Amino acid sequence: MSSHSFGAAAIVEAVNAVRSGTIDRAAAVTRVRPADVEAALHRAVQAGGATVLTVGIGASPGAAVGKLCFSSDEVLDATDRGEQVVLVCEETTPADEIGMRLAEGVLTAKGGLSSHAAVVARGWGIPAVCGADALRFGDRSVSVGDRTLGPDDVITIDGSSGEVLLGSVDVSEEDVPPELEVLLAWADEIRGDRVGVRANADTGEDATRARTFGCEGIGLCRTEHMFLGDRLPLVQHMILAEGPDEEAAALDALHAAQLEDFVSILEAMDGLPVTVRLLDPPLHEFLPDVEHLVAAEATGSLSDGDRTLFDAARRWAEQNPMLGTRGVRLGILKDGLYRMQVRALLDAAIERLAVGGRPQVEIMIPLVVTGTELALVRGWVLDEIHQAETRSGRSLDVAVGTMIETPRAALCAADIALTADFFSFGTNDLTQMVFGFSRDDVATRVIGPYLELGLLERDPFESIDVAGVGQLVASATDNGRAASPELKVGVCGEHGGDPASIAFFVDAGLDYVSCSPFRVPVARLAAAQALLDSAG
């Protein structure tokens, strides 16, 4: 029996034991492992003698079989022909998300559990293997040792074990027994209102899916994902605008696009809180790759339009963009951008109110490091709320908080809490900055050997580092609430779906955890188990 089948069997057995009077509900919730729930929710590779090409990091659970595609464009063409494909590349960027949505799975040579490919794949329930650093890429080909594969070759990836297998391997389907929802309902009774479980979701479709998994709101809506695909030119027009009039026109076009998205998300989450993070990444992520444009210039194939983008890409390029002009820093330099996003969100809430909806809006300011930063941007938000209420004649109840994702923000939590309605810990960035680890670069080159040598007990991007990062979370929570007793505190980093991390967050007194939609059932069970452990 595969681990997949064992997971479903464990759930059924626990529920039947309660029905027969052998154990009580709390014992059943304790008996089923979070891994059993995860196994039941995803496809799994069947045991067999398949050839293992290489092993990377199991970054998003499940199994996928398909032909190799080396770009999003290839994925689009292949799926148009009705083919099942796996996107294989060095690493993914936001520009690849249209292809990722259509692929059966994703395989990357770089990155780890908190890389772009891993985070996005988990959010969409797509199997992913990352950090398979033995892969060597050629012209529409990939090599592992002396074996080279091209577009007509098929592979199978196991997003749980990290194995990459040659050919099409038998894969079991999801096996979600009806007893799972019974068990999770018992877990919810135990949790009550002590620990909430929210989802990280960026579209109405994702929000709807998350709600079917039993989430109690959205803890992280990443607005940058709304700027991609056919909307990318709108962002580029804003970046390239010459003068305030051109920039205002570009922002108006973005407002219309964001309004549509926010309405669909608030509708899907009607009556539940929706935490919307204002734009976080640096602007260079919305521009073409500089190296690609340099190569085009060298060959004389750079068009006039490309040259304009090239100039902008070089102007916004930074040596270390993840520590550069991003988050609140970008919002302060381009205040019209944040104001536009807030205005679109408020207009969406008003539109929902007009049809009898019950929107609960929370606006989150990213990468804050000082209380004065938050106070400045909060002032803009309050000004936009006042204007929206005046325009509509409606009263809006909007919370304004911040993402605690830098060590300084955690250390200065008492000061920041004075102007925050809530904190949400962004543990991916916080872990990166506390350790000085690049979450995209150390996954295989450093973390693997460190684990083997016993220099780390576990991957800190997979499970919270209690001694370091965890202490910042706990102290920031305590100090923030000491300064502002009504402060709500949650976590929206990927640790919010890890059972061991959830146990720590429960002990630290957080109000909720937020995770990828497909991890919500796991988090519901893990939070209940943590509460039972702490009580007994």
Distance from chain centroid for Cα 389:
32
| Distance (Å, whole) CA 178 – CA 160 | 23
> Cβ neighbours of residue 141 under 8 Å, at least 6 residues apart?
70, 148, 149, 150
Residue 88 β-bridge partners: 107
The answer to whether residue 492 is catalytic is yes
Give the SS3 label for residue 60: strand
Put the strands of the sheet holding 141-144 in their side by side order: 136-138, 141-144, 147-149
The one-letter code for the residue type at 98 is I
Give the SS3 label for residue 131: coil
| Distance (Å, whole) CA 536 – CA 5 | 31
Residue 241 β-bridge partners: none
Residue 481 is given by DSSP the state H
Beta strands in 32-104 (DSSP E): 44-45, 52-55, 57-60, 63-69, 85-89
Q: Choose, from 4, 42, 116, 284, the residue flagged as catalytic.
A: 116
The neighbour count for residue 261, using CB atoms within 10 Å, is: 21
The answer to whether residue 116 is catalytic is yes
Q: Choose, from 284, 492, 495, 515, the residue flagged as catalytic.
A: 492
Asked if residue 154 lies in contact with residue 50, where contact means CB atoms within 8 angstroms, the answer is no
Containing 151, the helix (H) or strand (E) segment is none
Give the SS3 label for residue 362: strand
Active site amino acids: 116, 492
